[in-house]
Amino acid sequence: MAIMKIRKIGDPVLRSKAKEVDKINDKTKELLDNMTETMYDADGAGLAAPQVGVLQRIFIVDDGEGLTEFINPKIISKKGKAIMEEGCLSVPGETGTVVRAKNVIVEALNRNGEKFKIEATDLKARAILHEYDHLEGILYVDKKISQEQLKGIEIEEN
């Protein structure tokens, strides 16, 4: 395994849309392993392949409950609203307030090519949606809101 270079804001790869993984092979599994080592080394809660310069629809998340790997994820549904400060390994030293869904259902493939569906809430939902945005070329700073904007937002619990 190896620690990979995390791309920083300003790198054009972070603004590019990632491509579907056609075939899961040893190279895909090695990428997942290297991303995992890189994320833990950087003390992150998630990491998307574009953040390490690979334009594939792959990301990993660990919200403290264990690692989940996502290949070709698809958002099935989002519900509720939650407001929280976010940071990003690609935007070091900064945070911002972001409104995201409180609950999310995602379908993806695991490293063995098996389809799975996961329902996540709170921090795990936020991490999944944050990493999914990376696959679309979106950074959290694009969704950051001001304290003034925050006043007009109604929070839905579900």
**Catalytic positions:** 131
Place of tokens 């700073």: 141
- DSSP secondary-structure letter at 75? E
Q: How far apart are CA 62 and CA 60, in angstroms?
A: 7
Please spell the DSSP secondary structure of 77-124, one letter per residue.
Answer: EEES-EEEEEEETTEEEEEEEEEE-SEEEEEEE-TTS-EEEEEEEHHH
- DSSP secondary-structure letter at 58? E
Q: How far apart are CA 106 and CA 128, in angstroms?
A: 9
Q: How far apart are CA 44 and CA 130, in angstroms?
A: 12
How many Cβ atoms sit within 10 Å of the Cβ of residue 14? 20
